[in-house]
Amino acid sequence: MSVLPLPNLLVINSTTNHHHLPSVEASSLSPESLAAFLDEILNQSAPVYGGNTLPTRLYRTYFEVRTSLAEMWQGNPVLTAVLFGLPLGFLSLICYSVCCADIMDANEEEEEEEGDGSHEKRE
């Protein structure tokens, strides 16, 4: 998967999600070479890309997320940084307080136990 330069030719089979690309640039295609390319597709001798398998669908999802985030960053980097930085900052604070809460409470409990023993009444 990649971003194709315009103009380009792409033949898609919508039932299987397979696609075919010509071996030459679309701007240099003549009507005869275009007819030959389409005949190769009908004969199933043209190279097939894509599909509907699980690895292809996972890669397609990764590609869409990556391109969307790149477009967001190119369009407005400050908003993108705030959009992802603010929730990540809060999440890191929550994780820090969850992981370090036991350490902070342990010192207070030890001081209270030592303090209770010294207040006993002696006769």
How many Cα atoms occupy the beta-carbon half-sphere of 94 within 13 Å?
6
pLDDT band at 98 (very low <50, low <70, confident <90, very high): confident
Residues 12 and 69 in one domain: yes
Other Cβ atoms within 10 Å of 23 Cβ, number = 9
> Rounded CA gap, 6 and 27, in Å?
9
Residues 66 and 106 in one domain: no
Q: What is the pLDDT of residue 31?
A: 86
Largest CA distance in the chain: 114
Do 3 and 67 form a contact (C-beta atoms < 8 A)? yes
pLDDT digits (tens, 9 = 90+) for 50-89: 888 898 889 989 999 999 999 999 999 999 999 999 999 9
Whole-model pTM: value is: 0.56
For residue 93, give its domain range.
Answer: 77-114
Residues 47 and 8 in one domain: yes
